A and B are shown apart, each in its own frame.
Chain A
Amino acid sequence: MRTSGQDQQKVHNFWQRLHIDVPLLIGILLLLTLGLFLVYSAGGQETAVVYRKARSIGVALIGMFIVAQIPPLVYRKWAVPVFILGLLMLIGVLLFGHVGKGAQRWLDLGFIKFQPSEIMKLIVPIMIAWYVSQDNLPVKISTVVLAFILVLLPTLLIAKQPDLGTSLLIASSGIFVIFLAGASWRLIGVCLGLASAFAPILWMFLMKGYQKQRVLTFLNPEQDPLGSGYHIIQSKIAIGSGGIEGKGWLQGTQSQLEFLPERHTDFIFSVFSEEFGLIGVGALLALYLFVVMRGLWIAVNAQHAFTKLLAGSLTLTFFVYVFVNIGMVSGLLPVVGVPLPLVSYGGTSMVTLMLGFGILMAISTHRRFHV
């Protein structure tokens, strides 16, 4: 028993030295592998699409590994300057950003083209976690108000691009920090009240025509079944016709015959549901729950308020992806461009997510650092 205990310890130390959290890694790898199979099915069974996805996975894994080596202390030190730089870049995007698909999201620096909003998904929770962990928890009202303003700045800049999905994710990452930092329930109630008061203003002044249309379509998709309602109707048909056992991998008629739009990106959950049925859906949701549980476990066991808040926020934001994506393709939420995390095709958002998991792993494995 002793020897096996020692062996276990050795294995543990090995991963510890690599700064890899094994349960989290297993969960992530399972989701990524599922993504590869689904992208093959949804992408017209072309291996080229699978290769591209595998390449992004490789890049993302390396990125995650590198980030995991950095002690969380470093993020805290650089939180403010990086946040300011991020804001400047978002302003830059609005001024001379690259336009693609009707939205201004890309910044072209000559040698590299990237989306500052993606990096802000990491910077914002770091910044807010740094800011609220200055004082003892629970947070004071004044801190909350200021933190809200700090969240609102990048959120609005991104909403203006327009990128409703990302701004939603960034806003929630900040709000999760405030929530986990123990903001009083009354305060949370007031904030929710303000948010609902803000909704009509959002509707009238900030939302673009197509975004309003999405909300209207969500409320009644059958009103325009061949136009704006087409996506959601076809998606629901795909999910519903999957039944309990599903039609089988590569056998989903809605996806294989291309009735389903955006199959390998935002609507990949519909492909999955059609081909693997309710049993598959149950397993997938359990897998996501597992990843979230592991993330929260890391957060609870983190040694400092900053790392706790950061880990918690990253984990819950990951879950927001799951909720918004599945909610929208199954008709519970209006369509906003949020991918199914780690499964959908699309390198950028996956790399960001994986970097976030790198931070989680860093928090999980760099236990001994002091203030």
Chain B
Amino acid sequence: MSPRRVVIRNQSAEANLFARRAFIAFTGVVLVLLILFGNVYNLQVESFEKYQTRSNSNRIKLLPVAPNRGLIYDRNGVLLADNKPVYSLEVIAEDVEDIKASIVEVSKLLNITPERQRKFFKSMKRKRRFKPVELHSRLSDQQVALFSVNQHKFPGIFVNARLKRYYPFSDLTTHNLGYVARINRKDANKLALDGKSENYAATYGIGRLGIERYYEDMLHGTIGHQEVEINNQGRVIRTLNYTPPVPGKDLTLTLDIELQMIAKRALSGKRGAIVAMDPRTGGILAMYSNPSYDGNLFVHGISTKNYKKLLESKDLPLINRSVQGYPPASTVKPFLALTGLEENIITPTTIVNDPGWYKLEGLPNKYRDWATWGHGKVNLTKAIIKSCNTYFFDLAFKLGITKISNMMEKFGFGDYTGIDIYEENKAIMPSVAWKRARYNQHWYTGDTLNVGIGQGYWTVTPLQLTQALTTLVNHGERKVPHLLKANSELIIESSGNAYHQITPVIYEPRAPLKLKVDNHWEVVLNAMHKAAAAYDAFKGSTYDASGKTGSAQVARIKQGEEYDAKTTSENKRDNAMFIGFAPYDNPEIVVAVAIENVAIGGGGTNAGPVARQMMDQYFGDRVITRQTLKAKKSTKAKPKFDSTIKTIPQEAD
């Protein structure tokens, strides 16, 4: 650098100059401070509300809390659908140091399959921060215990308990209750469309079939909210506010689970359905379709293998046969007889001669009676007792299809009964217009003759049969078939008292069916009463039953061919049908039975005894009591009720 020079300094001039510059700098400092303060003032005072809102939306989140689904009981308070805690093993990856090693170790401890581990790592890839990922969806009690002891070794891995649907009677109730299954994309879209997405934000499953589906809104309840404070990573720091969810309503059904068990037992090893109804209310006492399947399988997501098995089973367990169409066969003869009386085609004393066949003039076909040599001279009562085909061929021919189907539609055939499940089938009440629309064909007289014996195009569901029979025994008073008896709601008063408020469901009766001559009801019912007295199935019964059998041809039998069950392949054998009610005065129960492809005999020998078992159970000769139920339940384990059912003495044929 340059050598030191000696400078004569003007100290005071320098000091003045410096002081001036320092003052300017000071002014600048004050100015800058004012700008800084002004800016902060702007943020903290002018825009305060905006930033306060943003600060709150940063830290406050609403966590949805799922309501508990309402429980379902039978008419006597037996629990049919429960909520049970299910334990899942979940992982918050952010809290785990070495995720790979931890998963391998915990899997070894709890014996978790490599398949589950692979699934876990797959779902890990598309998870959100601090969101738990499921490693195992259903831990056994033993696994839960084992993990709890070793929990300290696995930070970030924890057991979570959720309530999931459980059906203690498994396949016994599936066709009625349906089941709850995980909400899929289709459900989610539908919920969004109905504006219900928000209420389902925390909900795991939705009613997929039966009661669970029909009364979804009632069962679900209202979502609650937990207002929490979270940090920048989304971790919950504390709860600020809690709005509890409103649980769904509990439902009490008209079903009698004991009667339901009898139905299952009676149909054991057979394909078919039984419906029992209280004709005074329309309440379904039992409705069972065999074979059935376990709805619990679907609650946790059924495996592809199991689902395929159900789908491909020749016995079609997924189908609810109580609401599927069967040829009604002779079970509809009482209704046809009533139509004949109403239309003045016959009187109670009209006689028809039955040589064993019916032949229309000018037509070559012989319509055979089931009794080869015929029944001789037959009036209405005898025609119903003996189920005389010739009598009803003649009646149907004289009535014509239009009068028949008009009257049958009044009994509810060919239409929905309005029962509170969605799986119902309308079945077919054929008419001229129907055949035109369906096959684009003329209606032939032969078609009418087939309808006259409950065959041909005509199909009815067992539920429709109980509905029609109810109308019949009520002398035209029509009831809405239903499963829901009452719902109960948990009411919490402001004082803290809580109680269940039970609301019975009221079903508006439908417009009654009026006959020109009121006595005609009695004529037909009387014939059924006499018929039942003639059946072996009801020998020795104490409750004064009435009924009508039916045996439906499944395969067409050619002219001149004989039907023999032994030589006919299983799926072409006759269906056995039965309808009945008891007691004769003031009936309390109507029953419809359909059994497919019976080996020997028809409705009288196969379906009749089944109805007998149902009525025995109903009228006090109880083979299953509530005590046996309770005893079974307390022993826990999977309910297999067959073992507790006393052996029912076989009917003597």
Interface string of B227-245 (1 = CB under 8 A from A): 0011111000100000000
Q: How far is the CA of A292 from the CA of B22 in the complex (A)?
A: 11
B29 at the interface (CB under 8 A from A): yes
A248 at the interface (CB under 8 A from B): no
Contact among B26, B40, B44, B58 with A254 in the assembled complex (CB-CB below 8 Å): B58
Count of B interface residues, CB-CB < 8 Å: 46
Question: Taking the nearest CB of chain A, how far is it from the CB of B436, in angstroms?
Answer: 67
- The answer to whether B33 and A182 touch across the interface, beta carbons within 8 angstroms, is no
Given the known A-B contacts A136-B9, A278-B41, A296-B25, are A258 and B233 also in contact in the complex, defined by CB atoms under 8 Å? yes
B39 at the interface (CB under 8 A from A): yes
Give every chain B residue within 8 A of A281 (Cβ-Cβ): 37, 40, 44
- The answer to whether A243 and B36 touch across the interface, beta carbons within 8 angstroms, is no
- The answer to whether A135 and B7 touch across the interface, beta carbons within 8 angstroms, is yes
- The answer to whether A236 and B231 touch across the interface, beta carbons within 8 angstroms, is no
Given the known A-B contacts A135-B7, A237-B58, A238-B55, are A244 and B18 also in contact in the complex, defined by CB atoms under 8 Å? no
Q: How far is the CA of A181 from the CA of B13 in the complex (A)?
A: 12
Q: How far is the CA of A33 from the CA of B500 in the complex (A)?
A: 62
Question: Taking the nearest CB of chain B, how far is it from the CB of A326, in angstroms?
Answer: 5
A180 at the interface (CB under 8 A from B): yes
B648 at the interface (CB under 8 A from A): no
A239 at the interface (CB under 8 A from B): yes
- The answer to whether A278 and B58 touch across the interface, beta carbons within 8 angstroms, is no
A25 at the interface (CB under 8 A from B): no
Q: How far is the CA of A170 from the CA of B618 in the complex (A)?
A: 101
Given the known A-B contacts A136-B10, A316-B29, are A332 and B39 also in contact in the complex, defined by CB atoms under 8 Å? yes
Give every chain B residue within 8 A of A86 (Cβ-Cβ): none
Given the known A-B contacts A237-B58, A257-B232, A312-B22, are A242 and B5 also in contact in the complex, defined by CB atoms under 8 Å? no
Interface string of B33-54 (1 = CB under 8 A from A): 1011101110111011011101
- The answer to whether B59 and A259 touch across the interface, beta carbons within 8 angstroms, is yes
Give every chain B residue within 8 A of A305 (Cβ-Cβ): 9, 14, 18
- The answer to whether A243 and B26 touch across the interface, beta carbons within 8 angstroms, is no
Give every chain B residue within 8 A of A258 (Cβ-Cβ): 231-233
Give every chain B residue within 8 A of A134 (Cβ-Cβ): 2, 5, 7
Interface string of B623-646 (1 = CB under 8 A from A): 000000000000000000000000
Question: Taking the nearest CB of chain B, how far is it from the CB of A225, in angstroms?
Answer: 10
- The answer to whether A137 and B25 touch across the interface, beta carbons within 8 angstroms, is no
- The answer to whether A180 and B45 touch across the interface, beta carbons within 8 angstroms, is no
B32 at the interface (CB under 8 A from A): yes
B21 at the interface (CB under 8 A from A): yes
Q: How large is the interface on A (under 10, 10 to 19, 20 to 34, 35 or more residues)?
A: 35 or more
Question: Taking the nearest CB of chain B, how far is it from the CB of A318, in angstroms?
Answer: 10
Q: How far is the CA of A242 from the CA of B48 in the complex (A)?
A: 8
Give every chain A residue within 8 A of B8 (Cβ-Cβ): 136
Interface string of A279-312 (1 = CB under 8 A from B): 0011001001100110010011000010011001
A89 at the interface (CB under 8 A from B): no
A138 at the interface (CB under 8 A from B): yes
Give every chain A residue within 8 A of B33 (Cβ-Cβ): 285, 288-289
> Which residues of chain A have a CB within 8 Å of any CB of chain B?
80, 134-138, 176, 179-182, 234, 236-244, 253-254, 257-259, 273, 277-278, 281-282, 285, 288-289, 292-293, 296, 299-300, 305, 308-309, 312, 316, 319, 322-323, 326-327, 330-332, 371
Q: Nearest 9 CB-CB pairs, A to B?
A: A240-B51, A241-B55, A240-B43, A257-B231, A258-B232, A241-B51, A259-B232, A278-B44, A137-B14
Supply 14 further A-B pairs (C-beta < 8 A) apart from A240-B54, A305-B18, A308-B18.
A176-B25, A179-B25, A181-B21, A182-B21, A237-B58, A239-B51, A240-B52, A243-B44, A243-B52, A273-B40, A278-B45, A292-B26, A326-B40, A331-B39
Name 14 A/B residue pairs within 8 A (Cβ), A-sorted: A136-B7, A136-B14, A137-B13, A237-B58, A239-B40, A241-B54, A244-B45, A244-B48, A257-B232, A259-B232, A278-B45, A289-B33, A293-B26, A296-B22
